[in-house]
Amino acid sequence: MIEKIEDRELKRRGRRQLLMLAPVAVLGAFALPKLSDHLVAAGVRFSDWASGSLFRSEHLAPTFSNSEVVPFSNFPYNGYDVTDPGVDLENWTLTVEGDVQHPGEYKLSQIQALLKINQNTRHVCVEGWDVIGAFGGTPISEFLMLVGANTSARFLEVECADDYYESIDMPSALHPQSLLCYEMYGQPLDRGHGAPLRLQMPTKLGYKQAKYLETIRVTNVLRAGKTGYWEDQGYSWFGGL
């Protein structure tokens, strides 16, 4: 619809309408680093909150046939620092702390005595690549039952022999496909993949799958600045798939 408008009236309307758009210009203010740091940190927190709300404990990640699994030699060794922290596999124990009835040291044989699951699942790296691998281990939930963990606690923290550390939300830890993994491709974990024990969760990104586990802690409180090696540098804490 074309109107006939007095020139000044048209300009006046334009100015009035421009004012209404001013809030959009506020977006441009976030080009300033001091503001944008806060904005994107809040954005990631919101995304993590949405991801946690979206997470369906009963929904399984896709699994694959043996023919879809990449050859073992094509499964990358992705160390952040060292590929072998020199774990003493003979005398290794897993320390269990926090909100559990039976804290203490657990041997690998005690973990291997629990329900064993083999699964071919997709390992997705935050960088964008992914590989389908074959993993074997016990569900984290089985182990938490063994140690009498309070599964209504909010978080699981792990510390690793290579000084890596991670924390995950309890619903993800209790997911039926979330494993304490001690085998890949039917063989005991090798040193490059985190021997003797690592996390393996097809509902989480690769950086959440901590290797060389030494300590597991059940807790309701995460320590600020110690939520995860990469998360403390800016990666999403939830890291869910």
Partner 1 sequence: MANGEEKKMLPESQAVPPEQIAAENVPVAEAAAPVEVVPNVSKESPAARPAPVAAAQPPAEESLALVRAAYEHPLPIRITHWVNAVSLFVMVASGLRIFRAFPTFGPKIPERVLLDIPKSLTIGGWLGGALQWHFTFMWFFAASGVLYLAYQFLSGHYRTVLFTAKDISGVWPMARHYFLFGPKPPVTGQYNPLQKLAYTSTIGFGVLSLLTGVVLYKPAQFSALAWLLGGFHLTRLWHFAAMCGFLAFIPGHLIMVVLHGWSTFVSMLSGWKREPEYQE
Nearer Cβ to partner 1 (166/214):
166
Asked whether position 34 contacts partner 1 by CB under 8 A, the answer is no
Distance in angstroms (rounded) separating the CA atoms of residues 233 and 164: 13
Q: Residue 67 in 3-state DSSP?
A: helix
Q: Which helix (H) or strand (E) holds 21?
A: helix 7-29
Q: Scanning residues 193 to 212, which ones bind partner 1 (CB under 8 A)? A: 202-203
Task: Say which DSSP state 208 is in.
Answer: G
Which CB sits closer to partner 1, 46 or 226?
46
d(CA 164, CA 80): 8
Is the Cβ of residue 1 or residue 224 nearer to partner 1 in the bound state?
1
Of 65, 73, 101, 109, which lies in the binding site for partner 1, with binding defined by CB under 8 A?
Answer: 73
Q: Is 58 in the site for partner 1 (CB under 8 A)?
A: no
User: Of the candidates 95, 150, 176, 235, which one interacts with partner 1 according to CB under 8 A?
Assistant: 235
- Least Å distance, CB 106 to partner 1, is 29
Q: 129 or 145: whose CB is closer to partner 1? A: 129
Place of tokens 């309307």: 13
> Half-sphere exposure of 54 toward its Cβ, with a 13 Å CA cutoff?
11
Closer residue to partner 1, CB minimum distance, 114 or 131? 131
Do strands 104-106 and 94-98 pair parallel, antiparallel, or not at all (unpaired)? antiparallel
Site for partner 1 in 77-136 (CB under 8 A): 122, 124-131
Task: Choose which of 32, 46, 104, 221 interacts with partner 1 (CB under 8 A).
Answer: 46
88 burial (CB, 10 Å; 0-12 / 13-18 / 19+) is exposed
Q: Judged by CB under 8 A, does residue 4 bind partner 1?
A: yes
39 binds partner 1 (CB under 8 A): yes
- 223-238 per-residue burial string, b: 16 or more CB within 10 A, e: under 16: eeeebbbbbeeebbbb
Burial class (CB in 10 A: 0-12, 13-18, 19+), 108: middle
Tell me which residues touch partner 1 (CB under 8 A).
1-10, 12-15, 17-18, 20-21, 24, 27-28, 36, 39-44, 46-47, 51, 54-56, 59, 61-62, 70, 73-76, 122, 124-131, 202-203, 230, 233-236, 240-241
